[in-house]
Structures are given as structure tokens and as C-alpha cells.
Amino acid sequence: MKRRKQRRDRGQTKVGLPPGSAVYVGHPREGGADLTALVYDAQGLEEHQHSSPEVLRGLVASNRVVWINVDGVHDVELVTDLCERFGLSPLAVEDVLNTATRTKLDVLDNGTALVALEMLTAQLPHDSNGDGEHDVPWEVCSEHVSVVLGAGFVLSFQEGHAGDLFEPVRTRIRAGTGRIRTQGADYLAHALLDAIVDGYFVVLDRIDDRVEEVEANTLSGDQPDVAARVYALKQDLATVRRVVFGLREVVGRLIKGEVRLVGRPIEPFFRDLYDHVMSVLEMTESGRERLTGVLDLHLALSAHRMNDVMKVLTIVATIFIPISWIAGVYGMNFVMMPGSQAWWGFPVAVGLMLLTAIGMLVFFRLRRWL
């Protein structure tokens, strides 16, 4: 319910505005955006911190790759200035600023490609003290990310609150390991998308651990709130599926060659990325099926325990029916009652009750009702 309300609030921000309006739609943030740039080729690397969009646009050269990362798209003026200098249309700028934009691929008139998607991370909730004793030690956090592939440059825009999965890519560029320094901007775009997809695997591994925990506790009967936990995990898996489902179409279009800036030597890497996306979807569906099985098992065990309880109660009630009859008969207010005036009357009545109870237990045992 809370997520739906947030989405409604985001949609109300742009009510009545024309298409292409540069308006930030997302969670409020304080301070300015963090603007960094890496300029590299096979021979060297330059790093720029907090440079202006004008300076960064001048760094683009035919023999180098420029990667500009913006952490915090709430700075509308900075984002708009940077996008305009790199030839992005107003509609593309609108998608960058709107954190509720669905996962998609847009190819602009100048050949530049914009990929809008979501980055998922598993983080400690705000009310956790980090000591591992919190009932749910982590939660799935979503962050809007836009990756722009142009001629010799890549722009990445992060919402800037859930984390950063691009640091391994920066490490590879700085160290010069692998092929990233010898490839073009299309390979860098692939590396960024691949880092985001790798983050999906991390989130799914965390969810899988929780599913195994719920399964074990369900079998042992130590977890009374199984339904609530299963529902929460299904919501997390639904979030992953919603994000990855759109990314499958995006990567599929990149493989088909709809973006001319993606060279043929890089297409195999995007096909490999497509396989990773399909693996994430398969893991998501597998997790949903396991959770459904856990819930069915919980219901079956609950019904079985209820049947055991009802069986015991039925046996107890059945045994006490003849005992109650005997006690009722001898409890009637008659003087001329057999044995009522004799000393052996009470022991005989109690003995008759015990023999009746024992006889019924033996009968139930012979019928294998016990």
C-alpha cells in the first residue's frame, strides 16, 4: 500500500504539464548532484571531479571513451544542461528526471540510445541497528538509473539513494584489467548494464536464503507467521520480476541491432547479458513456485495438526459420554437405587466408569483409531 501511494504521489507531480517538461519526479533530496567523469583509452586514464557540463562535453574525442556519471538526478538544472550539451531531446531529459519511468530503450534521432531501468540492492532497513537481530535484516531497495550511449561517450544517471553498483566497473577501468580499456563506449554501456544485472543475482541470493529459512522453520513448526513472511518475499520477487521483465525486451532490441552505435564485435556480450537476464527471470519464477509450495505445506501441516487436536478431543468426549451417563444415573435423587445405601456402591460406580473408559480405549486401539 505504501509503494502504491508513493507512485500516485510521483504521478501527481506532473499533472497538467506538457510532454518534455524538465521536472524531477522522485524522493526529495538535499544538496547538489555529484558529477564525475572518467576519460580513458588503451594508453591512459583521466579522472575529473565536479567539472561543469561544458568542460565535460569538450573531453569527447574520437579516440577516447568518456564516461560521465551523475549521482542524484534531483538537480534539474545540472541534469538538463548536461543532457542538452550531449544532444538529448526534451523527452529523453524527462525520462532521466522521472524516477518512475518504466524500463525501456529509446533510440534518438541522432543515434544516441537511452536505457531507463532500475537498480536493485539489498540493504538494512532504517529501523535496524545492524546487529543481525532484526527480524528482517535487509530489504530490497530500488533506484532509478538511466544509461545513455552516444558516439564516444556514456552518460549514467543514478537516483542516488540505494547504493552504487558501478564501482567494480570503475576499478576495472583504473586498473586496466580485462578488455574494457581497449573497447569503445558500447562495451562500457554493456559493462554498466551487466553490473546492474549482477546486482539482481545478489538480491535473489538473499531472497533464496530467506526462502530456505522459511522452508526449514515451516517443517519444524517454529514459525507461526509463515503466511506473512511468504507474502513479503513474494512481493520482493514480484519487484525483481517487474524490473527484469522489461529489461529482457531492452537487451533483446540491442541484440537485434536497433542501436547502430553497438558494434558487431560487442553483440555477443549483449547476448550473454540476455542469458543472464533470462536466468534472473527463471530464478524469480522458481522462487515464487517454492514460496507457493511453502504456503501449501504450511496449510497442510496446520490442517494435520488441527485434525490431531480434533481427534484427541473427540476421543476424550466419546470416553466421557458413558461415564457421564453412569454418573448421571447414580446422581439421581432416588432412595431405592441399587447400591445407593450400601458401602460398596460408590467403589462399584467408579470402577464401572474406569472399566468403561479402559474398554473404549482398547476398542479404539484395536480399530487403529489411536
Cα 90 from Cα 96, distance rounded (Å): 10
| Type of residue at 357 | A
The reported pLDDT for the residue numbered 3 is: 43
Cα 110 from Cα 92, distance rounded (Å): 12
The reported pLDDT for the residue numbered 336 is: 54
* 252 Cβ contact partners less than 8 Å away, ≥ 6 residues apart: 274
Grid cell digits, residue 294: 511453502
The reported pLDDT for the residue numbered 137 is: 60
The conformation of residue 42, written as its DSSP 8-state character, comes to S
The reported pLDDT for the residue numbered 6 is: 45
- In the chain, which residues have pLDDT < 50? 1-9, 127, 130-134
The reported pLDDT for the residue numbered 255 is: 92
Helix orientation angle between 90-97 and 76-85, rounded to the nearest 10 degrees: 140
Cβ–Cβ under 8 Å, residues 155 and 68: yes
Cα 76 from Cα 83, distance rounded (Å): 10
The reported pLDDT for the residue numbered 365 is: 76
| Residue 317 main-chain phi, psi, to 5 deg | -65, -40
Whole-model pTM: value is 0.78
Long-range Cβ pairs for the range 294-297 (8 Å, 24+): 294/211, 294/214, 294/215, 294/218, 294/226, 294/230, 295/226, 295/227, 295/230, 297/215, 297/218, 297/219
The reported pLDDT for the residue numbered 330 is: 65
Cα 56 from Cα 48, distance rounded (Å): 8
Could you give the 3-state DSSP secondary structure of residue 135? coil
The reported pLDDT for the residue numbered 104 is: 93
The reported pLDDT for the residue numbered 130 is: 47
* 161 Cβ contact partners less than 8 Å away, ≥ 6 residues apart: 27, 29, 141, 143
Cell numbers 532490441 correspond to what residue? Answer: 253
Q: Nearest-CA neighbor of 156 among 245, 49, 268, 70?
A: 70
Q: Which helix (H) or strand (E) holds 299?
A: helix 267-330
* 53 Cβ contact partners less than 8 Å away, ≥ 6 residues apart: 35, 78, 81, 82, 85
The 10 Å Cβ neighbour count of residue 22 is: 16
The reported pLDDT for the residue numbered 140 is: 85
Cβ–Cβ under 8 Å, residues 116 and 95: yes
The reported pLDDT for the residue numbered 24 is: 84
